[in-house]
Chains A and B, each alone.
Chain A
Amino acid sequence: MPEKPSDPLTQQDLDSILERLRPRIKELLRRYGCAPETAAGLIREAVIALMHRWSSVRDREQWLLDRIEKAVRRTMNSSSEEPRDDREPPS
């Protein structure tokens, strides 16, 4: 694996990535029915991972979106296996 373009990590870059991705992330969270309090931790973890991998990721927006989707899917799939409080009791 070679070196990737190495522009330095800045607050401005991070803010603009999050700003540009905001509608797509919101759409993704709605699609999976992921509540904001659950999503916040997942997104924060993904953004911090991106900050650590800044110089090795070429398309940072796509990378971040993919990573958030994976985390949301994993979390929502595992939570849907748990007993649901809105389920009808067996008759």
Chain B
Amino acid sequence: MTESRRPDPETPSPQGDEYERMFERIADAVGGQLPGILREIDAAAVLLAEILGTPEPERRALLESGVRFHSLQLCQLLEERSREAWFSAPAQAVGLAQLAVAVAERLDEAHYGPLLAEDARASAWAHLGNAFRIAADLRQAEGALQTAEEHQRRSGEDAYTEAMISSFKASLRSTQGRYDEAARLLDEAIAVYRQARDRHEEGRALLKKGTALGHAGRHREAIRLIRRALPWIDLFQEPRLLVAARHNLIFFMTEGGRLQEAEESLAETRRLYRDLGERMNLVRLRWLEGKLARELGRLDEAETALKEARDAFLAEDIAIDAALVSLDLAIVYLQRGETAALRQVAAEIRPIFASGDVHPEAFAAVLLFQQAAEAEQVTRALLDQVAVRLQRTQASPVG
């Protein structure tokens, strides 16, 4: 078979003209497909509106019954909507990703080609896995990501899908406290984005790796990696990611005792938070200010900032963050030896966790804190341990 020979690329080949003719044929073929794809792109938005306008229990049946819904572009739009709901409405994100899976499973391989269809399935299952993780269903997350990997192996040609699965799996491993595994998976994603010359996504993966290692207590490595990520992040495309990166950098500087550096970085970053103008980011800024003030020994300033942040999270029913700020506040009272105030802090976060709509690990961690506060046996080590358990259950704003 002539195909398996390896000729010298420098030698002029008699196939040269054939290659030229091949390019002409390809240009004609893809040009012929373009109008159809453009029509599919336009139709997808209409189909999405139709699905979202249908009552939830009937959506799946609608998708399954109508061939017009079996569209790759619709599948991608459903994934996009699921991503948008990750942090604001995790249950909705799961529902949308399930619809994306339902569409992907019904894509016509004769129309799209088997590899593209398999790739779409891999991507849809990966989105479902990540949505399950954020919604605290780790068992289903694991299963969905495994299915994504199986489809990806059958497709195997879209490096972005491969990197996305690695990145989502890394987030799951971080949630499970398996930080080294998370870092290894993120190395795979980093290599893909570097090869694809996608600096922004490389920056995100570096930030995620730094954050995973930081949560493992490896603050120096975390700071180094996040610093490497910063120049790659495109401020104009995703200002929120840049704020998240600078926030995490300052957070790990504070955790690592590099207080002077943290204070200087915070002074440089304040404007970025304000320019972004998102209320919850400003609350997170207040939290960081309180934490840093506490470590610098400015306890009154810390108490004021942390109370403001905690009240804002409580008002928005953001349970995990409210609990984490409460733990920071508890450290202030512990340092002052104010046991009554400490008990009160523990009692104040109870109602929000009583709703039952929280991660079981988070609930257990809060219970441990409350029991220790009631027994007046709270120590700094216990508060740190509870904080680590709570942090794991958080959906990272990095994505």
Please give the residue numbers on chain A whose beta carbons come within 8 Å of chain B beta carbons, in ascending order.
Answer: 1-5, 9, 11, 14-15, 18, 22, 26-27, 29-40, 43-49, 51-53, 56-59, 62-63, 66-67, 70-71, 74, 76, 79-80, 82, 84-86
Contacts and interface: CB of A to CB of B under 8 A. Distances in A.
A33 B4 contact: yes
A79 B3 contact: yes
B196 interface: yes
24 contacts: A1-B83, A1-B399, A2-B241, A9-B38, A9-B41, A15-B27, A26-B19, A33-B2, A33-B7, A34-B3, A36-B19, A40-B25, A44-B26, A44-B29, A45-B116, A47-B30, A48-B112, A49-B119, A51-B30, A51-B34, A52-B112, A70-B157, A79-B4, A82-B1
Contacts of A57: 160
A2 B399 contact: yes
A37 to B, nearest CB: 8
Given A15-B27, A48-B33, A76 B115 contact: no
Contacts of A71: 157
Q: 9 closest A-B pairs (Cβ-Cβ)? A: A36-B22, A36-B18, A80-B4, A59-B197, A33-B5, A30-B9, A58-B198, A47-B30, A70-B157
**A22, A33, A37: which has the most chain B beta carbons within 10 Å?**
A33
Contacts of B9: 27, 30-31
A88 B359 CA distance: 66
B144 to A, nearest CB: 16
B65 interface: no
- The DSSP consensus for interface residues of chain A is helix
Contact of B31 (A11, A40, A46, A80): A11
**B13, B73, B164, B196: which has the most chain A beta carbons within 10 Å?**
B196
B88 interface: no
B139 interface: no
Contacts of A51: 30, 33-34, 37
Interface residues of B, number: 53
Contacts of B41: 9
A71 B116 CA distance: 12
A71 B80 CA distance: 27
Contacts of A82: 1
Contacts of B198: 58-59
A59 to B, nearest CB: 5
B196 A58 contact: yes
A33 B200 contact: no
Given A2-B238, A63-B196, A71-B157, A44 B30 contact: yes
Nearest to A29: B19
Nearest to B79: A1
A52 B3 contact: no
Contacts of A59: 196-198
Contact of A86 (B1, B15, B201): B1
